[in-house]
A and B are shown apart, each in its own frame.
Chain A
Amino acid sequence: MNPPLLQMKNLRTYFFSQRGVTRAVDGVGLRMEQGGFLGVVGESGCGKTVMALSIMGLIPSPPGRIVEGEVFLEGRDLLALSSEELRDVRGSCVSMVFQEPMTSLNPVFRVQDQIMEVLERHRHLSRKEALEGTRELLHRVRIPAPEERMRDYPHQMSGGMRQRVMIAMAIACEPKLIIADEPTTALDVTIQAQILDLLQELREERGCGVLLITHDLSVVAQVADRVVVMYAGRVMEEAPVVEMFEQPLHPYTQGLMRSIPGNIASKGKRRLEAIPGVVPSLLDLPKGCKFNTRCMHAFADCFLEPEPDLLAVGDGRYVRCRLYE
Chain B
Amino acid sequence: MCAAGFTNDDRMNRGGPATELLAVRNLKKHYPVTRGFLRRRRGWVRAVDGVDLTIAKGETLGLVGESGCGKSTLGRVILRLEEPTSGDILYLGESLLNRTGKEMLAVRRKMQIIFQDPYASLNPRLTIGRIIGEGPAIHRLGSPADRAERVRRLMEVVGLRPEEASRYPHEFSGGQRQRVGIARALALQPELLICDEPLSALDVSVQAQVINLLQDLQEVFGLTYLFISHDLSVVRHLSDRVAVMYLGSIVELTDKDELFDHPAHPYTLALLQAVPVADPRAARLRRRKREPEPEPGNLEGPGCRFATRCPDAFPPCRETAPLLKEVSPGHWVKCLRTGG
Residues in A lying within 8 Å of B, measured CB to CB: 43-44, 142, 144, 158, 188-190, 192-194, 196-197, 200, 215-219, 221-223, 241-242, 245, 255-264, 270-276, 278-279, 294
Q: A263-B279, A272-B211 are in contact. Are A217 and B204 (CB under 8 A)?
A: yes
The distance in angstroms between the C-alpha atoms of A275 and B209, with both chains bound, is 7
Interface centre among A193, A194, A216, A258 (most CB of B within 10 A): A193
Interface centre among A215, A217, A279 (most CB of B within 10 A): A279
The distance in angstroms between the C-alpha atoms of A272 and B233, with both chains bound, is 12
Q: A217-B204, A221-B283, A256-B205 are in contact. Are A263 and B278 (CB under 8 A)?
A: yes
Judge whether B276 and A219 touch: CB under 8 Å: yes
List residues of chain B with CB within 8 A of the CB of A144.
294-295
The distance in angstroms between the C-alpha atoms of A262 and B283, with both chains bound, is 14
The distance in angstroms between the C-alpha atoms of A196 and B211, with both chains bound, is 27
In this complex, the interface size class of chain B, counting residues with CB under 8 Å from chain A, is 35 or more
Partner of A257, one of B270, B278, B294: B278
Interface-located stretch among B14-22, B285-293, B329-337: B285-293
Minimum Cβ distance to chain B for residue A99 (Å): 14
Partner of B277, one of A192, A218, A273, A279: A218
Minimum Cβ distance to chain A for residue B160 (Å): 12
The distance in angstroms between the C-alpha atoms of A264 and B279, with both chains bound, is 7
Classify the secondary structure of B's interface with A.
helix
Residues in B lying within 8 Å of A, measured CB to CB: 66-67, 173, 175-176, 203-209, 211-212, 215, 230, 232-234, 236-238, 270-271, 273-281, 283, 287, 290, 292-295
List residues of chain B with CB within 8 A of the CB of A274.
205-206, 208-209, 211-212
List residues of chain A with CB within 8 A of the CB of B209.
274-276
Q: Can you list 25 A-B contacts (CB < 8 A)? A: A189-B276, A190-B66, A190-B270, A192-B276, A193-B290, A197-B290, A200-B287, A221-B278, A223-B283, A242-B281, A256-B204, A258-B208, A259-B204, A261-B211, A261-B237, A261-B238, A262-B278, A264-B278, A264-B279, A271-B215, A273-B208, A276-B209, A278-B175, A278-B203, A279-B203
List residues of chain B with CB within 8 A of the CB of A262.
233, 236-237, 277-278
Partner of B280, one of A158, A196, A241, A275: A241
Judge whether A215 and B293 touch: CB under 8 Å: no
Partner of B274, one of A43, A189, A264: A189
List residues of chain A with CB within 8 A of the CB of B292.
142, 194
Judge whether A218 and B278 touch: CB under 8 Å: yes
List residues of chain A with CB within 8 A of the CB of B67.
188
Judge whether B287 and A272 touch: CB under 8 Å: no
List residues of chain A with CB within 8 A of the CB of B280.
221-222, 241-242, 245
